[in-house]
C-alpha cells in the first residue's frame, strides 16, 4: 500500500485516535503502521478499505475527499473501536491540508502597508500595539514543546506518538488563529513520515528548515506585537486586494506536482511595469492532472486562453485582484480579454533580462529566504542570457553548465525528474549543443555556487519560447548534434565552496536525524571550532561549542540519578545554529553570483 492511496485525514482525527490508545497499544503503534503499509487496499466510492488480515478490514470513509471525524474510521476486529488499527490507519494516511495553490476567491481588500516614510507612531498608539492572547501563547508553547521533542528523539525516535503530539498542537494553533505555525507543524509531520518510510525524495535539509520554521514561529508568538505579530500569525486564507486594470504579458507555464498528491500548472505573466504575477490551477491529481490542466482554459474572467496559450499571449484585465505574493484572483468582478503578447526580446518583457545577475540573485534571496514572512512578496525567478557549455556530472546526477554575464558559470538542474514531464529530456538535449546562446528563466537554488532550476528558454532554432516542463525539444531543433560530458569544473575563488560552515551545518542536521543524545556523544569538538575560527567565523564556532555542550549536559540529583534533560535549552541552541547557518549560507550564495574577482581574499578559508 502506498500512503497516497489513502484519503487525507484531518490532524485532529489522528491526534484523537492516538491519544485514546492505552499505553500498551501506543508501544505497538509504529509496528502496526508499518504492517498496514504492506497490506492491500481498495476503494469503493468515498470509502477506502485496508485488509488487515483475511478476516479483518479497516475502513476510511472520506466524504468530500477528507476523513474529518474519528467515527469515519472503523475496524472489524474484536477490540474495535479501542483497537490500534484505527489509529495506525490514520497515521499511515496523508495529513489533510489545503492545496498549496488553489484559485482562491478574493477576500475583502486589506489596507496598504504603512510606508517607511510615514511618521512614527505616537506613544499612545505604540502602547496599543496588539500582542498575542494568553490562549495563543499557550498554543505556541505547545508547538515549541512538540518541536523540541522531535529534536530530542530524532527521526528514528519520532514515531506516531510524537507525530500525534505535533498534530494536536497544530490543530490547537489553527483554532487559536495561528495558521503559519500550524502549517509548519504539519510540514514537520509530513517530512518525518517521509524520512521514516525511506521516501527517496526526502532531504534532511528540508526537515531542518521546517523544524526551524516551527520553533522560530512558536517562539516569536510570545514576543511579537503589531505588524510583526500579524506576520507571525500568518493567514488562513490568502488575501486579495483590488488592483484596478492590468495589461499582462505571458512569460511561460510550469507544471506543479507536490508530494501531497496535488497537481496542476502555474502560468507566469508580467505587467507593463515588469511586476510578476501568476495564474494557477492546482488540485488533487498528481502529474497526470498537471499535464491535462495545461490545455484547459485559464480561470480568469471570460478568457478562453489555455495556460499554454497564456504563457505566450497577453491579457487585458479590469477589476483585477492580486495577493501579496502576486497571485491573480478569479472573482466574479474580474473581467479579462485576450490581447497581444510580447516576445522576450520586446518591451516590457526584455527589461527583465537587463538587470545584472548578481542583483537578481540578491533580490531573489531577499524575497524567498527560507524563513521569510509568507506575505513578503517578491519572486525567486532569474532572467539570464547564457551560453551553453555542456553537461556536468555531479553526485546527485547530471546538470547543464552555462556561462552568463560577468563570466559566471551557472549550473542548471531540472524541476522534476518524473519521466512524464519533459524537464530531464529537454535538459539532456540542450547539453548536446555547446556554444548555443539562449535566453532562459530559472528558479534560484540557494547554494555555495550559482545554481538554478531551469524552467523556460528561448527556442534554440529561432523565435518562440519553450516551456521546459511541458514542451519537448527535438534533436532537429538544435544546431549541434553531439557534445561530450565534462567533469564538474573547480569552483572559482570567492565562491565559498570550501567554507567550513558545513562543520556546524552537519551537526544541525545530525541532531534532526539521530536526536540530541547522538550529538552529546561527540566528545571534544575543539579541532572543529578552531578551524571555524581561523576561517573568520567566531560566532559559528561559539554556536557549535554551545550546541554540543548543551546536548551532553545531564545533571544528577543528590542520589546520583539523572535529571531530565533541558530540552528547551537545547532546542534554543539548535534553533540559533540553524538560523545562523541559513543566513550565512544565503550571504555566501549572494557572493557567488558576483562577477569573478581575482585573489582569494573574499574567502579566507581557501587559504587553509
Tens digit of each residue's pLDDT (9 = 90 or more) over 543-557? 999 999 998 887 777
| Verdict on whether the full-model pTM lies above 0.85 | no
Closest CA to 35 of 202, 201, 160, 203: 160
Grid coordinates belonging to 466: 519553450
**Which H helix or E strand runs over 143?**
helix 134-157
The pLDDT score that the predictor gives to residue 4 is 61
Ranges of residues in the chain whose predicted pLDDT is under 50 = 99-127, 482-483, 485-488, 490-497, 598-608
The pLDDT score that the predictor gives to residue 127 is 41
The pLDDT score that the predictor gives to residue 148 is 95
CATH number of this structure's domain 355-487, picked from the four choices 2.70.98, 2.60.40, 2.40.50, 1.10.10: 2.40.50
Q: Return d(Cα 260, Cα 255) in angstroms, integer.
A: 15
Task: Show Cβ contacts of residue 357 under 8 Å, excluding neighbours closer than 6 positions.
Answer: 382, 384, 404, 405, 406, 408, 450, 593
The pLDDT score that the predictor gives to residue 101 is 44
Q: Return d(Cα 151, Cα 574) in angstroms, integer.
A: 9
The pLDDT score that the predictor gives to residue 220 is 93
Q: Return d(Cα 575, Cα 371) in angstroms, integer.
A: 12
Ramachandran quadrant class, 164 (left: phi over 0; alpha: psi -120 to 50; beta: rest): alpha
Amino acid at each position: 500500500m502506498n500512503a497516497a492511496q489513502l484519503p487525507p485525514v484531518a490532524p485532529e482525527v489522528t491526534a484523537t485516535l492516538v491519544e485514546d490508545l492505552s499505553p500498551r497499544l501506543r508501544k505497538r503503534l509504529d509496528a502496526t503502521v508499518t504492517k498496514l503499509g504492506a497490506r492491500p487496499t481498495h476503494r469503493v466510492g468515498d470509502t477506502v478499505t485496508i485488509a488487515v488480515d483475511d478476516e479483518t478490514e479497516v475502513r476510511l470513509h472520506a466524504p468530500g475527499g477528507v476523513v474529518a471525524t474519528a467515527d469515519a474510521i472503523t475496524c472489524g476486529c474484536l477490540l474495535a473501536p479501542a483497537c490500534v488499527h484505527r489509529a495506525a490507519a490514520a497515521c499511515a494516511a496523508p495529513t489533510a491540508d489545503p492545496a498549496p495553490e488553489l484559485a482562491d476567491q478574493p477576500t475583502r481588500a486589506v489596507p496598504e502597508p504603512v510606508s517607511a516614510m510615514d511618521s512614527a507612531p505616537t506613544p499612545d498608539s505604540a502602547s496599543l500595539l496588539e500582542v498575542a492572547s494568553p490562549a495563543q501563547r499557550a498554543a505556541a508553547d505547545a508547538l515549541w514543546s512538540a518541536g523540541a521533542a522531535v529534536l530530542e528523539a530524532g527521526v528514528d525516535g519520532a514515531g506516531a506518538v510524537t507525530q500525534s503530539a505535533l498534530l494536536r498542537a497544530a490543530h490547537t494553533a489553527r483554532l487559536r488563529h495561528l495558521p503559519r505555525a500550524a502549517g509548519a507543524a504539519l510540514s514537520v509531520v509530513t517530512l518525518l513520515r517521509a524520512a521514516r518510510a525511506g521516501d527517496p525524495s526526502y532531504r534532511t535539509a528540508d526537515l531542518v528548515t521546517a523544524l526551524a520554521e516551527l520553533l522560530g514561529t512558536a517562539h516569536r508568538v510570545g514576543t511579537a506585537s503589531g505588524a510583526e505579530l500579524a506576520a507571525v500569525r500568518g493567514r488562513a486564507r490568502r488575501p486579495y486586494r483590488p488592483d484596478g486594470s492590468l495589461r499582462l504579458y505571458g512569460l511561460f507555464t510550469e507544471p506543479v506536482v507536490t508530494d501531497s498528491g496535488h497537481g496542476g500548472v502555474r502560468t507566469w505573466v508580467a505587467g507593463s511595469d515588469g511586476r510578476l504575477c501568476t495564474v494557477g490551477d492546482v488540485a488533487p491529481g498528481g502529474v497526470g492532472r498537471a499535464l491535462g490542466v495545461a490545455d484547459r482554459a485559464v480561470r480568469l474572467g471570460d478568457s478562453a486562453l489555455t495556460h499554454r496559450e497564456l504563457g505566450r499571449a497577453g491579457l487585458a484585465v479590469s477589476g483585477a485582484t492580486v495577493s501579496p505574493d502576486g497571485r491573480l484572483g478569479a472573482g466574479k468582478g474580474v473581467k479579462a480579454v485576450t490581447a497581444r503578447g510580447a516576445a522576450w526580446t520586446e518591451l516590457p518583457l526584455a527589461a527583465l533580462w537587463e538587470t545584472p545577475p548578481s542583483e537578481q540573485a540578491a533580490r531573489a534571496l531577499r524575497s524567498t529566504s527560507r524563513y521569510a514572512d509568507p506575505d513578503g512578496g517578491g519572486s525567486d525567478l532569474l532572467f539570464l542570457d547564457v551560453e551553453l557549455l555542456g553537461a556536468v556530472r555531479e553526485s546527485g546526477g547530471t546538470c547543464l553548465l552555462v556561462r552568463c554575464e560577468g563570466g559566471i558559470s551557472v549550473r542548471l538542474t531540472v524541476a522534476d525528474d518524473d519521466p512524464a514531464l519533459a524537464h530531464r529530456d529537454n535538459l539532456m538535449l540542450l547539453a548536446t549543443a555547446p556554444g548555443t546562446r539562449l535566453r532562459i528563466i530559472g528558479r534560484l537554488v540557494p547554494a555555495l555556487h550559482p545554481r538554478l532550476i531551469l524552467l523556460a528558454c528561448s527556442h534554440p532554432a529561432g523565435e518562440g519560447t519553450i516551456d521546459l516542463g511541458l514542451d519537448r525539444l527535438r534533436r532537429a531543433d538544435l544546431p549541434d548534434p553531439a557534445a561530450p560530458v565534462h567533469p564538474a569544473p573547480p569552483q572559482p575563488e570567492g565562491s565559498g565552496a570550501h567554507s567550513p560552515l558545513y562543520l556546524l551545518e552537519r551537526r544541525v542536521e545530525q541532531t534532526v536525524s539521530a536526536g540530541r543524545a547522538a550529538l552529546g556523544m561527540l566528545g571534544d569538538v575543539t579541532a572543529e571550532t578552531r578551524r571555524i575560527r581561523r576561517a573568520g567565523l567566531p560566532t559559528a564556532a561559539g554556536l557549535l561549542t554551545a550546541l554540543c555542550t548543551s546536548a551532553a549536559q545531564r545533571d544528577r540529583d543528590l542520589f546520583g540519578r539523572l535529571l531530565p534533560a533541558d530540552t528547551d535549552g537545547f532546542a534554543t541552541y539548535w534553533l540559533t545554529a540553524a538560523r545562523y547557518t541559513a543566513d550565512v549560507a544565503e550571504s555566501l550564495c549572494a557572493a557567488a553570483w558576483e562577477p569573478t574577482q581575482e585573489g582569494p581574499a573574499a574567502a579566507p578559508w581557501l587559504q587553509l
